[in-house]
Amino acid sequence: MNIPALFAEIHASLPNVNTGRVADYIPELSKIDPTKFGVHATTVDGRQFSYGDAAEGFSIQSIAKVLSLTMAYQRLDQNLWKRVGVEPSGTPFNSLIQLEADRGIPRNPMMNAGALVVCDVLLDYLAEPQRELLAFVRSISQDGTINYNEAVAASERANSDRHRALIEFMRSFGNIDNDTDRILNFYCHLCSLEMNCAQVSATFLFLANHGRSPLSGQQIVTGGMSKRINAIMQLTGFYDEAGEFSYRVGLPGKSGVGGGIVAVLPGNYAITVWSPPLNPKGNSEFGMAFLEEFTTRVGGSVF
Ligand code: GLN
């Protein structure tokens, strides 16, 4: 099958789906051209398929939560689940609502509360968290050009009242150890990672390859841990739309409010799409429609 031709065909066949809105609650993200579209798939045996703006960097935002989760899971193993759960929340990504009943333990590491706990965990282990996170990402992708976008990090940092509220509320239940400003700085940098579709696919390939990066040859996590990270993405990667993404696309995946979505078929490939306008649940509208068509036409889903 000619995959780039199929990418072009699907792109052309979905002309009217682009009705979403570019995120503007982080002011820097509102500057993005809404007409951008890129897709890149990478297979575990090294094949690469690209279409559109696949080489243009974008803000990966919450996609990066999978990478911080991976680093925390490497260090704490099963003890990580004392601090954060693995259940779908059925709530928006930035919701506070369940934390009171759940006594400060976030439902999962993909919602903001859970990702902030994961950052708090990592601050206990990393002497230079921002440098070490970047080194980790560059190592698994074998790409030393990946970097933070400091303007995006500063823009989110200046608008982080809700993040602060989540941190302090969880602290009141004893589930936060570190200084709030350090957690906010680390979290906003994590979310500001800038990559293109090819780089995101390369980075996530270890989750398609039982925990081993085919690029660096390193075993990043065990096969069992890779299975569990994929399960968490499948159940929680799209917040209150995780069911919809599973139903339509049928792959473990993760979205970000920069308009990116990465999805993984274990044993086979990682695919990243980028289209900035978001649907009301904060997920790329065209990206989801594109992936739905792609996995349906090629039969490339876990179901
Ligand atoms: N940095 C964003 C936030 O915390 C990430 C959200 C997302 O991509 N869904 O609001």
Say how many Å lie between the CA of residue 258 and the centre of ligand 1: 8
25 CA: nearest ligand 1 atom? 10
The per-residue pLDDT string of the chain (303 residues; one tens digit each, 9 = 90 and over) reads: 899 999 999 999 997 666 799 999 999 999 999 999 999 999 999 999 999 999 999 999 999 999 999 999 999 999 999 999 999 999 999 999 999 999 999 999 999 999 999 999 999 999 999 999 999 999 999 999 999 999 999 999 999 999 999 999 999 999 999 999 999 999 999 999 999 999 999 999 999 999 999 999 999 999 999 999 999 999 999 999 999 999 999 999 999 999 999 999 999 999 999 999 999 999 999 999 999 999 999 988 999
Please write the tens of the pLDDT for every residue from 254-273.
Answer: 999 999 999 999 999 999 99
What lines the ligand 1 site, CB under 6 Å? Answer: 61-62, 93-94, 112, 156, 191, 256-257, 282
Q: Which atom of ligand 1 is nearest to the CA of 94?
A: 10
Q: Which atom of ligand 1 is nearest to the CA of 282?
A: 9
Q: What's the gap in Å between 191 CA and the centre of ligand 1?
A: 7
Ligand 1 center–CA 123 separation, angstroms: 19
pLDDT score at 1:
81
Report which ligand 1 atom has the smallest distance to the Cα of 112: 4
73 is in an annotated binding site: no
The confidence score (pLDDT) of residue 191 equals: 98
Reading the block at residue 115, the tokens are 């990702």
Mutate to test the pocket of ligand 1, among 257, 261, 278, 285 (most ligand atoms within 8 A of CB): 257
Amino acid 203: pLDDT: 98
Q: Is 62 labeled as ligand-binding?
A: yes
Distance CA 242, CA 101 (A): 22
Interface predicted TM-score of the whole assembly (ipTM), two decimals: 0.97
Residue 200 CA to residue 176 CA, distance in Å, equals 30
- The CA–CA distances, whole Å, from 245 to 89, 240, 255, 257 equal 15, 10, 10, 15
Domains of the chain by residue range: 3-297
Give CA–CA dist 4/190, Å, rounded. 31
CATH classification code of 3-297: 3.40.710.10
Of 226, 278, 274, the residue nearest 252 (C-alpha): 226
Tell me how far the alpha carbon of residue 169 lies from the centroid of ligand 1, in angstroms: 18
User: Nearest-5° angle of CA 73, CA 79, CA 85?
Assistant: 80
Distance from residue 274's CA to the centre of ligand 1 (Å): 15
Q: Is 257 marked as a binding-site residue? A: yes
